[in-house]
Structure 1
Amino acid sequence: MQLNLDAVPMGQPGILHQYAEKLVAFEYTRGNQSKPNSLLFIGGLQDGLCTVEYVADLVAALQNSDWSVFSLVLSSSYNGWGVGRLGKDIDEVAQCVQYVRDYKRQLFGSGKVVIMGHSTGSQDVMHYISCPNPRPRHPVLDKNVEPLMRSPVDGAIIQAPVSDREGILWVLKAGTERDSPETMREIYRKAVADAKQSTYEDGDRVETVVPLSVTARIGYPSSTAVSSRRFLSLTSPDSPRTPDEDDLFSSDLSDDQLQQTFGAIGTRELLSSKLMVLYSGRDQSVPPWVDKEVLLKRWSVAAGQDFWHQRSMVIPNASHALSDCDQAEPRRILVERVTGYLSEVGTRV
């Protein structure tokens, strides 16, 4: 497939859907063209509408297909990730999946729904298809919340499924322009100890926040408040022995631990086809000690051939979000893999 990236328009026509209270999804459309099948795209930390550039490539490539692309806005989108969590994310994704199914059913009678995640959106996709249904209740944050039953999806794709914990360990090992490795390790050690000691306050009803001066030096945006609970989930300091919710893709997780995620896909019965994984070969967030090909092989073994798509791959030279100026070929490969996958799912009975 030949894709002229220069021809992809900066603006995109579409429909803004409100799928739940204060939550929307943007469906890319052209004119009155309506399509029975739906690709639901979930971005990563700090992402929202139009922040992942290759989505425009997918929209262009799928223009003459039976697939429309939805870009989801979750409560954790943009700066909301600092106090977000995967459990709440998948409840909201479940609401969108059901909304889109109902919406398309009114127009076509039926249609396929595939969820695709980028970066932390990959954690959302994996959590959606592998954790218990409904998900476990959080002892503090779910006191007045009933987790939702999730309906099955027809396909699932994860792109740039990186480990936030290993990314931080890389910073601690290398240091920064401002801080030596020794200084970074001391900042991190104290931040973890403080977060563990005081994760909540006011009778466990309010989350505490890690000081911005600390999270910014570790590498998080200085404009985003990060709760102690989310900080501990992302850094997962007790891994690999006891990984926290966000630690799904670290290279040092044991085979037994991978059975709780990749290996659980089949038992949950929430994925009607196979999982496709597209790892970025030059991902800036992945430490040099991680062997990406070996990691994908371990994931494929854990998932099993019935739930692992054989066209999963490490995309050569691909950066984290395929947004650098030299990414035309990696983006072409990504588009080819995703459109091929969707074509397979669309023809399944």
Structure 2
Amino acid sequence: MTIKFLSSLAKGQPGILHHCTPDLVAFEYTRGATRKPHTLLFIGGLGDGLGSVEYISDLVQALDPTEWTVFAIVLSSYYGGWGMGRLGKDIDEIAQCVQYIRDYKTRQFGKGKVVVMGHSTGSQDVMQYISATNPRPRHPVFDREWIPILRPDIDGAIMQAPVSDREAILWVLHCGTERDSPETMRQIYDKAVEDARNATYEDHDSVDTIVPVSVTARIGYPPTAAVSSRRFLSLASPDSPEKPEEDDLFSSDLSDEQLGHTFGAVGSRGVLKQKLMVLYSGRDQSVPPWVDKEALLRRWQAVIDAGKQEFWSPHSMIILGASHALSDPDQAEPRRILVERVTGFLNDIQQE
């Protein structure tokens, strides 16, 4: 029998549920009436939901005596919605939440700082938020009746566990699974890609088609999640590294030219006002062994700072021994380091 100890969040946390829009909510963790002008807005990864990333409890506790509160947004792509979601809609919703927080905090306390922190695919949201054109490009299918939102600026950005979904899939294909050999996995994957390309949309190209759950489950996705052909192709990005899809931002084989469209575009967009911190997990289960993590971070830093604006935070690091979400039983020390880095970063943002 496995015993799972409940985090302080699982036991219950006081807070305020905010309606950023009629359909978009965020939860603010509050533990008292202390003046809190500054905000850390947290974004989870694929399959996450409110409170599902355990180390949030550590951050909430550490920030209790400071002037920072933690907001956790509930994106429409949360829980099982990630398979039908897209980064473009995510960053529009984050923009709405950031604007709400700025207005709300200004009314309460005056102008404060806002930092956006993403875990896993939340890191892809963060990178798109600070590097995409503002407003982002319109999607030919899903933005027919929607105008992309002009994103308000943010003071700082944090990416934790910014891994490549494509390389994670390639690792599964390389190793196989308990059920399928590498050869069988490659056949399943190749057919899924071919089918998704041949029929990405239906009903006059107005709605997504769905990859069979029997296929996505064998690749490693939850059997309860419907994954659209469009999102599958975005995550798998079969034409990378030459033509990376929307979700393929962090693969180790992307060229400096490709990184220039993301990390290298941060300075020209004007959305990020101060620094970006990257916290890469040293023992991330989603990262294949061929990825040189130290070299990858050095490349990202070189590209983002090529414009001489020095957006890269010196608090960035690889947290040795850290798992993807720092949720394993042996993660007390990595979580301590993560909290130390985040609080130090926020203090620097506050002082500038």
- TM-score greater than 0.5 by the shorter chain: yes
TM-score (norm 1): 0.97
How far apart are residue 21 of structure 1 and its match? Answer: 2.6
Q: State whether structure 2 residue 340 is matched by structure 1 residue 336.
A: yes
Deviations 1:277-306 (A, max 9, x none): 000000000001001000000000001061
Report if aligned partners of 2:35, 2:109 keep a CA contact under 8 Å in 1. no
- The residue type paired with residue 284 of structure 1 is Q
Deviations 1:21-79 (A, max 9, x none): 32110000013334100000000000111100000000000000000000110000111
- Residue 323 (structure 1) aligned to one of 313, 324, 327: 327
Could you tell me which residue of structure 1 aligns to residue 55 of structure 2? 54
Structure-to-structure mapping, 1:154-193, within 5 angstroms: 154-193=155-194
How far apart are residue 85 of structure 1 and its match? Answer: 0.3
Amino-acid identity (%)? 69
Instruction: Name segments (4+ residues, structure 1) moved above 6 Å.
Output: none
Could you tell me which residue of structure 2 aligns to residue 209 of structure 1? 210
Could you tell me which residue of structure 1 aligns to residue 291 of structure 2? 290
Distance of 2:240 and 2:144 partners within structure 1: 27
Q: How many aligned residue pairs are there?
A: 344
* Structure 2 residues without counterparts, runs of 5 or longer: none
Deviations 1:226-274 (A, max 9, x none): 0000000000000000000000000000011111100110000101111
How far apart are residue 206 of structure 1 and its match? Answer: 1.2
TM-score (norm 2): 0.96
How has the CA–CA distance of structure 1 residues 6 and 220 changed in structure 2, closer, same or farther, with 3 Å as cutoff?
closer
Could you tell me which residue of structure 1 aligns to residue 44 of structure 2? 43
* Structure 1 residues without counterparts, runs of 5 or longer: none
Distance of 1:327 and 1:51 partners within structure 2: 16
Report if aligned partners of 1:8, 1:60 keep a CA contact under 8 Å in 2. no
Q: SS where residue 273 of structure 2 aligns?
A: coil
Distance of 1:180 and 1:30 partners within structure 2: 51
Could you tell me which residue of structure 2 aligns to residue 314 of structure 1? 318
Report if aligned partners of 2:132, 2:262 keep a CA contact under 8 Å in 1. yes
Distance of 1:314 and 1:175 partners within structure 2: 28
Distance of 1:286 and 1:234 partners within structure 2: 14
Q: SS where residue 274 of structure 2 aligns?
A: coil
- The residue type paired with residue 313 of structure 1 is M
Distance of 2:15 and 2:109 partners within structure 1: 18
Could you tell me which residue of structure 1 aligns to residue 93 of structure 2? 92
How far apart are residue 7 of structure 1 and its match? Answer: 8.8
